[in-house]
Amino acid sequence: MNEAHLKLCASAEWADAVRRYIVPWVTAGQPLGSELLEIGPGPGETTAVLRELAPSLTAIEVDPQLAEKLRLRFADSNVEVVEADATDLPFEDKRFSAAICLTMLHHVPTLEAQDKLLAEMARVVAPGGAVLGLDSLDSPDFRALHVDDVCVPVDPATLQSRLEGLGLVDVEVETNEYALRFSARAGV
Ligand SMILES: C[S@@+](CC[C@H](N)C(=O)[O-])C[C@H]1O[C@@H](n2cnc3c(N)ncnc32)[C@H](O)[C@@H]1O
């Protein structure tokens, strides 16, 4: 992430939006079970809210510096931070009860890599478990925040068929003014 984007993701305003709008919208009515997986926690404002929703949260961050800071921030808590690339998760099949990725897919540089990451989420969730996510919609402001940074926005019009193509079931995609959310279940 560039400096401006990192600052935003660590801000009090973002933390407030995550707690009041983002996490409730994505997780509404979704059983998360006891072993939740978070992909791309960044500075950890999403992690701070998600850790309240499950007894155990594993957070996967590809950036070594962010992963180290997260380890310190969530030491002695129910969060385990793992430094890894979520397109190739270091976990066995069906290990988690649910998985979630918030405002991170656009940082994955190609549609193929995004699909690989989504397929990994599906692989490590037990059959019937929730696979959930949210990302910002494309806009000039969104692009401006990503100068000199990876930015491959997710098209809500094609996301349903992408998720179904990965074997996920009960797929739903919804948008509001700012973002898209998706929910699905891991297949058997
Ligand atoms: C914009 S931040 C979002 C942070 C947080 N989810 C939030 O909404 O505040 C995106 C994060 O995803 C991480 N990320 C990008 N690609 C990743 C990958 N392949 N595996 C794991 N993390 C990744 C980035 O390093 C960054 O910390």
pLDDT tens track for 114-134 = 999 999 999 999 999 999 999
Residue of the nearest CA to atom 25 in ligand 1?
A: 63
Closest CA to 188 of 110, 117, 122, 133: 122
106 neighbors 151 (Cβ within 8 angstroms): yes
Q: Which residue has the higher pLDDT, 149 or 101?
A: 101
pLDDT category at 60 given cuts 50, 70, 90 is very high
Nearest to 124 by CA among 85, 101, 92, 102: 92
Ligand 1, residue 5: give the atom nearest the CA: 1
Of 24-33, 50-59, 145-154, the range with the lowest mean pLDDT is: 145-154
- When the pLDDT of each residue in the chain is averaged and rounded to a whole number, the result is 96
In the chain, what is the straight-line distance between the N-terminal and C-terminal CA atoms, in Å? 36
- Judge contact between 139 and 76, C-beta under 8 A: no
Question: Could you identify the atom of ligand 1 that is nearest to the CA of residue 134?
Answer: 8
At 32 the pLDDT is 98
Q: How far is the CA of 124 from the centre of ligand 1 (A)?
A: 18
Ligand 1: residues with CB < 6 A are 1, 9, 39-42, 45-46, 60-63, 66, 85-87, 102-104, 107-108, 117
Contact indicator for 23, 48 with CB cutoff of 8 Å: no
For the purposes of burial, counting CB atoms within 10 Å of the CB of 134, is it exposed (0-12), middle (13-18) or buried (19 or more)?
A: buried
The pLDDT of 6-11, averaged and rounded, is 86
For ligand 1, the distance from its centroid to the CA atom of residue 41, given in whole angstroms, is 5
Question: Sorting pLDDT into bands at 50, 70 and 90, what band is 46?
Answer: very high
